[in-house]
Amino acid sequence: MSERRLKVGVLVSGGGTDLQSVIDAGINVVKVISSKEGVYALERAAKAGIPAEAVTKDQYPDIHVRMSKIADKLEEAGVELVVLAGYLSILTSDLLDRFPKRVINIHPALLPKFGGMGYYGMNVHNAVIAAGEKESGATVHYVNEGVDKGPVILQRSVPVLEGDTPEDLQKRVLEIEHQILPEAILKLEEELLES
């Protein structure tokens, strides 16, 4: 008898390097949903044979309707854990209430620092360097209705080196993201399947 695997759904908005790290780790991804059409993350999913589609603002301008649609599609796929991997929309209770304590996010900083509204992508790395921080890193955390406010699951740091550009720092942080996102999912898989 094969060992039961957690069914994971991944929400994306761009190139999907975090998604790729999850696929490469052998995690059982059963659905990928993008907030935008034509992003490379959808191609990565297709190459891995994972059902994927876009659910966009253009299709569903009302965020509550959009979040409900996404939740429907995740439930239809049997998803048990929802992973935000570079997903650039704020989630509402329409989705969160249907996956209580089962939605996680990867953030490119050491939360609680450099989290919240406006802190995404290069904005985070620019802010870290501008603040003169000596270290940065990545955080996997639970998602709740506060932006980047959910409890931390896993965190790892990298040094901010003298003369770093935001791009240099981004590259270093991304390497850490690609390690800790699969680690966190596997940790949760163990906990959720035991409970």
Backbone angles phi, psi at 31, to 5 degrees: -160, 140
| Cβ–Cβ under 8 Å, residues 128 and 169 | yes
* Residues annotated as catalytic (active site), given as ranges: 107
Length of the chain: 195
**SS3 assignment for the chain:** CCCCCCCEEEEECCCCHHHHHHHHCCCCEEEEEECCCCCHHHHHHHHCCCCEEECCCCCCCCHHHHHHHHHHHHHHCCCCEEEECCCCCCCCHHHHCCCCCCEEEEECCCCCCCCCCCCCCHHHHHHHHHCCCCEEEEEEEECCCCCCCCCEEEEEEEECCCCCCHHHHHHHHHHHHHHHHHHHHHHHHHHHHHC
